Amino acid sequence: MQIGFGAGILQRAGVLFSPKSVPNLELWLDASDIATITKDGSNCVSEWRDKSGNARHAVQGTALNQPLWIETGKNGKATIRFDGSTDFFDSITTNKNLGTFFFVSNGSKGTGLFNNVGRLFSKLFPNEGVFAFGNSASALTNETFTVSNNSSTSYLSTNTPIDSLSWKAIGFTTTSIYINNATANIIRSDLDSGNLQVDLMLGKRGTAAQYYTGDIAEVLFYNRTLTADEITRVSNYLVQKWGL
């Protein structure tokens, strides 16, 4: 029986789980925790604070570019909404290589120059890599998901269909992608392991006019490849918390 959530902790049948219980948590953004959100009277968000303890906060000081806090975005919990045209958070530097990454979103293909690719996070790697929904001739079929660390030659991508308007918890390592705790079919796996430093710009691709359309509910980044059991535990936490 699920009892409830407090400060990002899943209480289930007397067993507590927090993302911090899995070692090497480098970034934790949780839109449901109002104590981590700085917003104005119109719910425009200027800061989304990191709960990992590493102070890697998502910040946007320009009012025009501030995403919206949505009080009941998903499963009765708040989310952060990006408009697909101007909203993003400035780069978060971790100085850590990609290990395992999770996020919860309802993202769509968005707008931009790459055949309607929605740039969920970018500046992932030194040459402006991306996590994206959509399609581009070099990496994606329609309604799928990819991780890239450059524009044309290094990808991790799946052809498992993803409804761009539905909520999903996606997790990935350098070789695998998980959708709502199910392993996705990988059609390309040749990420350049030498350039996997995680520096995030949420909602936009670097200096390009390519933006993300949709909500983000939670983001977790670990600087190592988690075990299968750890991936299951984190994925289940996200799926149960957000009602996926």
pLDDT of residue 53: 96
Name the token pair of 98. Answer: 């990609």
pLDDT of residue 60: 96
pLDDT of residue 230: 96
Record the pTM: 0.85
Residue 124 near residue 101 (C-beta atoms within 8 A): no
Contacts of 244 (CB under 8 A, 6+ apart): 104, 167, 168, 169, 180, 238
pLDDT of residue 52: 96
Enclosing H/E stretch for 38: strand 37-39
Residue found by looking up tokens 């890697």 in the block: 56
Name the token pair of 8. Answer: 């990002």
Identify the bridge partners of residue 97 per DSSP, sorted by sequence position. 197
CA distance 73 to 67: 13
CA distance 71 to 209: 28
pLDDT of residue 140: 41
> What's the one-letter identity of residue 219?
V
Ranges in the chain, pLDDT < 50: 1-6, 11, 13-14, 109-117, 124-127, 134-142
pLDDT of residue 124: 47
Residue 118 near residue 213 (C-beta atoms within 8 A): yes
Residue 36 near residue 48 (C-beta atoms within 8 A): yes
pLDDT of residue 191: 73
pLDDT of residue 232: 95
| C-beta atoms surrounding 113 within 10 Å | 11
Pairing of strands 25-30, 213-222: antiparallel
pLDDT of residue 15: 58
Buried b (16+ CB within 10 A) or exposed e, 22-48: beebbbbbbbbbeebbebeeebbbbbb
* Domains annotated on the chain, with CATH: 19-27+89-241 (2.60.120.200)
Name the token pair of 210. Answer: 């390519």
Strand ranges across the sheet with 9-12 = 2-6, 9-12, 15-17
pLDDT of residue 149: 65
CA distance 54 to 119: 25
User: Could you tell me the maximum CA-CA distance found in the chain, to the nearest angstrom?
Assistant: 49
pLDDT of residue 153: 66
pLDDT of residue 45: 98
Strand ranges across the sheet with 130-136 = 89-97, 197-202, 118-122, 130-136, 140-148, 155-158, 186-189
First-last CA distance in the chain: 16
